């Protein structure tokens, strides 16, 4: 098992947990909560593969992603009271997750022989679209539509990866720098309450 594959599986596990936790105030039954966790974990990558025409879709090709989701859902069910208290921990895991999945999305798009612009967009989609679907299912305004710096951080990290890749920075170092860049932007935006300007009515 490569380090990248381990992080993909681990990220899927934690994203599934975050999806279940997001239903806590929505009075969903256990099946609804599990479905939300499933969609949160695979939504972005599924959309990426469909757009790029990569079939079978990644979780159909590798059942370990399904096992990671099932484990994440059951972990949340059995240890919900404990996990619900770890919102700050999940915030950090979310930052790390979107950073890593953005770059993985960019790399998989590049292997499909698309332009750098499309690769950057696919990286962002991979990281954020599962959360968008999750928020939609739980009747919450998706985070990318709020003032928070979220999808913008992913896009910035994707662009940085492409720039460093152009200058032949080694893959592992590039992955570390670019995903870390996303985490730093996201952390600073939360720490100092940075936000994008909103559209105002005149």
Cβ-based neighbour number of residue 31 at 10 Å:
8
Residue 46 is assigned to a structural domain of this protein: yes
In-domain check, residue 196: no
Establish if 200 belongs to a structural domain: no
- Which comes out higher in pLDDT, residue 160 or 79? 160
Residue at 201 is within a domain: no
Does residue 109 lie in a domain region? yes
User: 25-47 pLDDT, tens per residue?
Assistant: 777 788 999 999 999 999 999 99
Q: Is 197 within a domain?
A: no
Tell me whether residue 43 is in a domain: yes
Give, in order, the Cα–Cα distances in Å from 129 to each of 68, 74, 156, 163.
19, 23, 16, 24
Q: Which of 89, 102, 90 is nearest to 7 (CA)?
A: 102
Is residue 1 predicted with pLDDT exceeding 90?
no
At 90 the pLDDT is 74
Q: How many domains does the chain have?
A: 1
Domain range for 158 is 3-191
Is residue 198 included in any domain, yes or no? no
- The predicted model scores a pTM of 0.89
Region label for 2, one of left (φ > 0), alpha (ψ between -120 and 50) or beta (otherwise) = beta
Is residue 201 very low, low, confident or very high in pLDDT (cuts 50, 70, 90)?
low
pLDDT in tens, 57-94: 999 999 999 999 999 999 999 988 887 777 777 788 78
Q: What Cα–Cα distance (Å) separates residue 69 from each residue in 38, 141, 180?
A: 6, 24, 25
Q: Give the separation between CA 47 and CA 81, rounded to whole angstroms.
A: 32
């Amino acid at each position: 098992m490569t380090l990248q594959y381990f992080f993909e599986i681990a990220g899927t596990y934690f994203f599934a947990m975050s999806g279940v936790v997001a239903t806590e105030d929505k009075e969903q039954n256990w099946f609804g909560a599990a479905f939300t966790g499933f969609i949160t974990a695979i939504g972005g990558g599924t959309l990426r593969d469909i757009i790029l025409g990569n079939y079978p879709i990644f979780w159909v090709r590798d059942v370990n992603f399904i096992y990671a989701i099932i484990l994440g859902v059951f972990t949340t069910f059995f240890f919900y009271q404990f996990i619900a208290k770890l919102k700050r921990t999940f915030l950090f895991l979310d930052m790390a997750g979107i950073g890593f999945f953005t770059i993985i999305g960019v790399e998989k798009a590049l292997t499909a022989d698309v332009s750098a612009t499309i690769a950057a967009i696919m990286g962002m989609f991979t990281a954020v679209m599962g959360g968008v679907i999750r928020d939609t299912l739980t009747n919450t305004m998706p985070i990318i539509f709020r003032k928070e710096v979220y999808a913008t951080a992913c896009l910035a990290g994707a662009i940085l990866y492409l720039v460093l890749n152009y200058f032949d920075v080694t893959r592992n170092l590039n992955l570390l720098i670019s995903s870390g860049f996303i985490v730093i932007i996201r952390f600073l935006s939360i720490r100092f309450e940075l936000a994008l300007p909103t559209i105002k009515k005149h």
